[in-house]
Chain A
Amino acid sequence: MMTTIMPEAILMAAEKYSAGGKHPLTAMFGRDETASGVGYVIYCYFEIPEDKTMDGFKVVFNPNGSLEYDSITHIVPAAAWYEREIKDMFGLVPKGHPDLRPLVLHESFPEGFYPLRKDVKVNAKVRGERQFKVRTAKGEGLFEVPVGPIHAGIIEPGHFRFSQAGEAMLQLDAKLFFTHRGIEKAVEGKTPYEALPIVERICGACSIANTWSFCQAVEKALNIKVPRRAEIIRTLLMELERIANHTGDIGNIPAGVGFNPAISLGGRLKEKLMRLSEAVAGNRFLRGMIITGGVSMDITQELRERIHNVMDEVADGVEDMATMFREQENFQNRVQTTGIVRNQTAVDLALVGVGARASGYEHDSRSDFSYGVYDELDFKPYTKTMGDVAARLLVRIGELSASFEMVDKLIELLNNCDSQELFVPVAYAEGASWGISESARGSNFQYVALDSEGRIDRLFVRSASYANWPALPIAVQGDIIPDFPLINKSFELCYACIDR
């Protein structure tokens, strides 16, 4: 049970629960509970790694009283974005926040429009003119480089404004959330089963992570035990998704410096993995596999053999790429000491995934929490300490070999699993809980609350990229602007899942 506090007590609570930064802030989000007479509520979840669980508090606001509270960003820097989002979506204002510009809603929305409040209709079409001022540095000889939202390559939309001192990037301000589709509002009133096609389309690259976190939250809220076979298959799918993403990424990072042989090899390996996904799930993004209560299809003996064979081929290719990277001095020159995130920054911003682990911050939900069958896989997070592009590349390569091993173990577990049960039927009822899973980018947290009819009252999605985006403007400072694509690719931050 989460402690309920009044808005005045938020600073004290944040201090206590964050334990001086030892317990990272996983998520902070609002919820409109005025219908049940509670009011507007802010939920704060902190990870307690030593207990493999989460704890936190909720702050209750009387809708007719003051909707202001003291910003916790100066105690918990990771809260900066969450507080801005809560202001956009619910109109709860963090006093003393260093940057209160809108985050999610751009110029075409009017002031005072709070879409996640229950009195706003899902398809409300209101127009207005809100201000969004991009931040720039001023001074003699400084100039600006505006980029996006439509980029030169085939990538997702975001606007970057670089403040330059010659070639060096002094400051980067990013305007994001261009692909905000209102997903959290769109699923309200749907049953979890009805919402699944939307949840697996939050982000193309992380559909297993998103659906797993979502289903885990629903299952925890309703006290459902997932069959063992389904747990093994879910874990296997998660690792396949990670392997596909990491392989794609190590083939994409060299594109930041025009290292073509590596790009080609990476593209070929990724394609093998996408085709494997199609054989397993019937589509190339593993959609439709995870359902509430278990999984929809088995991974047959034939498929298991195919997975094993493809893994062998890909493992060889990854080894080749690692050799190419290691032996190309030009390449090493570009990636070493580029885009550094210091360990303290990673901890302060509660970074997740590759972004955290490349800066020596051992933060991995596969070992920090207990879900799937990771406990049986003898898994240990892979870290590097330099925090540069090279470290993020090496962490991916290291994690790939760990994942190849895990896939073999998982196939073994599946071979030895006598139970053929793939899912248990789920009767949707009232309840609320959270779910977490480790996507290729880092932990993916979701909170699901179901109403008395078992329909979604609130879904909150915090993808790994949401936690890691604020690190990018810090990583680029002082590096030259031609290195930006490289640094950006090394984080491989996804826009679709932060924008939702």
Chain B
Amino acid sequence: MFKVLERIFKDKLATEQISLAGSDRFRGPVEGSASGEVLKACAAACPVQAFSVQGEEYRVDYKKCLFCGRCVEACAKAAVDEAAEAGLKHKHEDALPVLVEAGQEVLQEVLKVKLGRSLHVRHLDAGSCNACDFEMGAMSNPIYDLHRYGVHFVASPRHADMLMVTGVVTRNLEQALKMSYEALPEPKLVMACGACAAGGETYGDTYAVVGAADKVVPVDLYVPGCPPRPSAMIMALLAAADMLKEKMK
């Protein structure tokens, strides 16, 4: 037992500053350019129709994007004959996918005034594959140590300021989501976390699926990623608690 303690002491502080960088292979937001023809091939390869093309311009809907890399792969394949093609690639240094929605600013005001920068969150799995849930769990480990930011997970929606929804809303959980939202005290905030809750296209439209979270309850903040990494989730929570600027310095 003493050996164990000794080793733990030797490790010193495990908690890290939140970093946005990913490993070399990390698939972050898409950047670069390609010809219209090549971009069409990229759009066709997207499993969730997040990649749209207009002429030589393209747009990625990061609410839906799975960060699966198929557009970049298709670009490389299609661009082989076209020399001097810059092509698309994934960013990995600044790997935090942009937070979506203008609602953010309003949200920050509300939080500052009413909550004084503390945030109590209730998680709700509305039909996720559990990857988002595992990453949410990881936020509480000693490395990310979410509690240092004044963000806490609570046991009931009645104790929460915000509902953090993961997963595409299923028919079997639609009622649970509605009831949890109703149980939330004012001001009710909802964060759609991950491609399923934010975009709702991961599995397509099936008999068992209602869709993205905003089809059932009003959503204030969308966090892209499949799943968003713990650091991205923390950034999103900080944005929600108006601490983003301070932490990005």
Contacts and interface: CB of A to CB of B under 8 A. Distances in A.
Contact of B205 (A122, A279, A316, A496): A122
Interface string B1-28: 1011001100000100000001111110
Given A274-B138, A496-B129, A181 B206 contact: yes
A297 B127 contact: no
A12 interface: no
A204 interface: yes
B142 A150 contact: no
A179 B141 contact: no
Contacts of A121: 207
B3 A323 contact: yes
B223 interface: no
Contacts of A264: 141-142
Contacts of B48: 197
Contacts of A320: 3-4, 7-8
A280 interface: yes
Interface in A254-279: 261, 264-265, 267-268, 270-271, 274-275, 278-279
Nearest to B7: A320
Interface stretch (A68-76, A284-292, A368-376, A408-416): A284-292
Contacts of B3: 320, 323
B95 to A, nearest CB: 10
Contacts of B106: none
Interface string A333-352: 00000000000000000000
Contact of B23 (A124, A125, A271, A275): A275
Contacts of B136: 154
A316 B203 contact: no
Interface in B169-227: 170-176, 180, 202-209, 226-227
B70 A181 contact: no
B25 A179 contact: no
B133 interface: yes
Given A150-B180, A268-B143, A278-B26, A181 B125 contact: no
Nearest to A282: B25
B96 to A, nearest CB: 14
Interface stretch (A40-48, A182-190, A472-480): A182-190
Given A204-B134, A268-B142, A108 B207 contact: no
B159 to A, nearest CB: 10
Contacts of A123: 204-207
Nearest to B166: A154
A27 B230 CA distance: 36
Contacts of B108: none
B47 A179 contact: no
Contacts of A109: 171
Contacts of B227: 204, 284-285
Contact of B137 (A154, A268, A323): A154
Given A180-B172, A198-B202, A267 B207 contact: no
Contacts of B155: 152-153
Contact of A284 (B7, B135, B167): B135
A122 B176 contact: no
Contacts of A265: 8
B66 interface: yes
A186 B127 CA distance: 15
Interface in B37-90: 47-48, 66-70, 90
Contacts of A496: 128-130
A399 B22 CA distance: 30
Given A125-B207, A198-B202, A267 B141 contact: yes
Interface in A350-385: none
Given A124-B207, A288-B69, A179 B142 contact: no
Interface in A203-242: 203-205, 207
B104 interface: no
A327 interface: yes
A331 to B, nearest CB: 12
B207 A185 contact: yes
A179 B205 contact: no
A323 B203 contact: no
B235 interface: no
Nearest to B225: A283
B195 to A, nearest CB: 9
A280 B22 CA distance: 12
A185 B206 contact: yes
A204 B143 contact: no
B119 interface: no
A180 B208 contact: yes
A155 interface: yes
Contact of B206 (A105, A126, A182, A268): A182
Contact of B14 (A268, A284, A297): A268
Contact of A179 (B22, B70, B128, B135): B128
B131 interface: yes
Contacts of A282: 22-23, 25-27, 69, 90
A265 B205 CA distance: 41
A474 to B, nearest CB: 24
Contact of A204 (B68, B133, B172, B205): B133
Query: Shortest 9 CB-CB distances between A and B: which pairs?
Result: A204-B131, A267-B141, A182-B206, A182-B208, A152-B155, A282-B25, A279-B23, A204-B130, A123-B205
Given A186-B204, A284-B227, 5 more contacts: A122-B204, A154-B133, A182-B203, A271-B143, A323-B4
Interface of B: 1, 3-4, 7-8, 14, 22-27, 47-48, 66-70, 90, 122-125, 127-138, 140-144, 153, 155-157, 167-168, 170-176, 180, 202-209, 226-227, 229
23 contacts: A109-B171, A120-B207, A154-B123, A154-B136, A178-B127, A178-B172, A178-B176, A180-B171, A181-B209, A186-B204, A197-B68, A198-B203, A201-B131, A204-B227, A278-B22, A279-B23, A279-B25, A280-B25, A281-B25, A282-B27, A288-B69, A494-B130, A495-B130
